[in-house]
Amino acid sequence: MEFFLTTKLPVPVLQIIALLTLLTAGLLLGRTKVAVLITYLFTLYWAYMLDSDLFNSLHELNVFTSSYLGFGLIVTALAAIGFLARRG
């Protein structure tokens, strides 16, 4: 229990409020696939951009960070196409 009380979450509160607002709106409007896509985009942003001190200290993108961002954007595009495509 001590771990949960001492752990700090570096995600800004306004971004959490924005995520919850967008998710609530998407779910209330019955657009669950859009809500999943919004969640994925926020997670990608938080994982990549909030740790920018590490990336800025390198002064360049190395293979891992470039591939992480590239694959994340590809997965986002494919998920958007798959979720939003109308069938028949």
DSSP per-residue letters across 2-68: HHHHH----S-HHHHHHHHHHHHHHHHTT-HHHHHHHHHHHHHHHHHHTTHHHHHHHSS--HHHHHH
For residue 50, what are its two tokens?
């909030």
In the block, residue with structure tokens 């028949």: 88
Q: What is the pLDDT of residue 33?
A: 84
- pLDDT reported for residue 43: 85
Over its length of 88 residues, how does the chain's per-residue pLDDT go in tens digits? 777 677 776 777 888 899 999 999 999 999 888 888 899 888 888 877 766 665 555 556 667 777 877 888 898 888 888 877 776 4
pTM for this model (two decimals): 0.65
**Do residues 23 and 38 touch, judged by C-beta distance below 8 A?**
yes
